[in-house]
Structure 1
Amino acid sequence: MAEVDFEAVETRRVPGRFGRLFALVSWPSFLVAAVAETAFFSLINPQELYLLGEPVHFSPLATYTIGFFGFWCVAGASSLISSWMAEKMPACADRCVGRK
């Protein structure tokens, strides 16, 4: 039989800028939302919530879901702003500490 020589080929996909930013923002904000919802709803009964002076008439599961996505949006916005601000910082550490 003839020997076949295979060439190594890189098969990993490297995420683009948007994919990387999405991963860097969504995963930590997801974890923060899970902790925030656990802390919030361990103290607050979802049946006793009021929205604009009216009692909330959602089921507890719907209230937990809406609360989780609300916490996730707030944490995501915070992570996105932090990521944006980190991009705007100077790349050189020497300039950050005042060295020339």
Structure 2
Amino acid sequence: MGEEDTFKNLKFLKLYQVTLSKWEVGEESFPALEKLELERCHKLEEIPPSFEYIWSLKIIKLVESPQLKDSAMKIKEHAEDMRGGDELQVVGRKNIPLLK
């Protein structure tokens, strides 16, 4: 999957035990994405910052991927600044909200 790939109708993306350390996606790759779930992605260093530009994104769920919390919170902050609201949630297991 390259930066230029687009998944126009994808609303939910779950990555489970991916072995990537770096992930790059373009700002327009997931225009309809509502939920991103990352579970046991221990090698992944960060969530691509381009996710802050996905206006449809409502939930980032992290399960057993604690190293991604900082990048998820940065995405949430930037998205809130751009959107002017608190529409993006960062949650953990059982959808419990994660705090800074």
Smaller-chain TM-score bracket = under 0.3
Q: TM-score, normalised by structure 1?
A: 0.24
Q: TM-score, normalised by structure 2?
A: 0.24
Structure with the bigger RCO (C-alpha within 8 Å, sep 6+) is 1
> Rg: which structure is higher?
1
Task: Please identify which structure carries the higher helix content.
Answer: 1
